[in-house]
Structure 1
Amino acid sequence: MAMENTCPFCQLTNDAEQQIIFENETCYFIQKESEQSVLEGSGLIIPKIHTKTVFDLSAKQWTDSQEMLKKAKDRLDELHSPDGYSVGWNTGETGGQSIPHAHLHVIPRYQDEPYAGKGIRYWIKQFGNARNLTK
């Protein structure tokens, strides 16, 4: 498939900063070195085969994603001792998905962050984001 040839998540070894931390039968937990200075400990859980969105995951990919999430949390708790987590899928361009390969964001959160206490819905809930439904 053409997308698999250009998809950065299908070609992990093309990015020297991208590290595979864990893997199981269908998924990886990856971290990118350049993102660690702001998003300490953050990473992604991605299916090994090109799967466009979270809605396209197989039952096995769901189960394996959950396994990766628990394993990633254990590792991040040990290495970074975060105070919480933001975990989420962006789906579709309007939903914020910039790479059309399903990926679950795993973001450790810390009490000393400027945006501590602001979850993944914070920016979406702002009044300035209200739809303009006038015709």
Structure 2
Amino acid sequence: MCIFCKIVNKEIPAKIIYEDENTLAFLDINPRSKGHTLVIPKEHYETFDELPEETAVNLTKTIKKVVNILKSLNPDGYNILNNNKPIAGQEVPHVHFHIIPRYNDEKEAVIKFSEPVNVDLDEVSKELNIE
């Protein structure tokens, strides 16, 4: 059983800031900023594409609720981040979204994009069957 399923089952303590029948939101134990929160479906799915549509909708509604809860911390902005599979940075194989409040006095950005890569957009369009 994964660590997030153990949190859902109350086998591991967590600082829960929101919970409903389908979702759970709790403070990240390795926060990147004050209020860094994880939002998960209670049912176990590894990646976002595995979610049934209704679960994805419920998860999105909870993300919005949590963003509003975190407004009490007075952030200057926030990131919503989801990683799928280890190559993309997923460390816990249970779909989860990070909500990371951002503050003007932070020393460095939490999210850093790599340099753009040279990709033939026409070729990608063909592969995707779009014009």
**Global fold match (TM > 0.5):** yes
Q: State whether structure 2 residue 16 is matched by structure 1 residue 20.
A: yes
Give structure 1 regions of 4+ aligned residues with deviation exceeding 2 angstroms.
13-16
- Percent identity over the alignment? 31
Taking structure 1 as the reference length, what is the TM-score of the superposition?
Answer: 0.76
Larger radius of gyration: 2
How far did residue 20 of structure 1 move?
A: 2.2
- Match of residue 31 from structure 1: 27
How far did residue 15 of structure 1 move?
A: 2.8
- Match of residue 98 from structure 1: 91
Contact 1:84 1:109 (C-alpha < 8 Å) held by counterparts: yes
Query: Can you list the C-alpha shifts for 1:29-76, whole angstroms capped at 9, x where unaligned?
Result: 1114x435x521111110101101011111111111121111111111
- Match of residue 114 from structure 1: 107
Count how many residue pairs are aligned between Structure 1 and Structure 2.
Answer: 116
Equivalent position SS for 2:54: helix
Gaps of 5+ in 2: 118-131
Taking structure 2 as the reference length, what is the TM-score of the superposition?
Answer: 0.78
Equivalent position SS for 2:68: helix
How far did residue 126 of structure 1 move?
A: 4.1
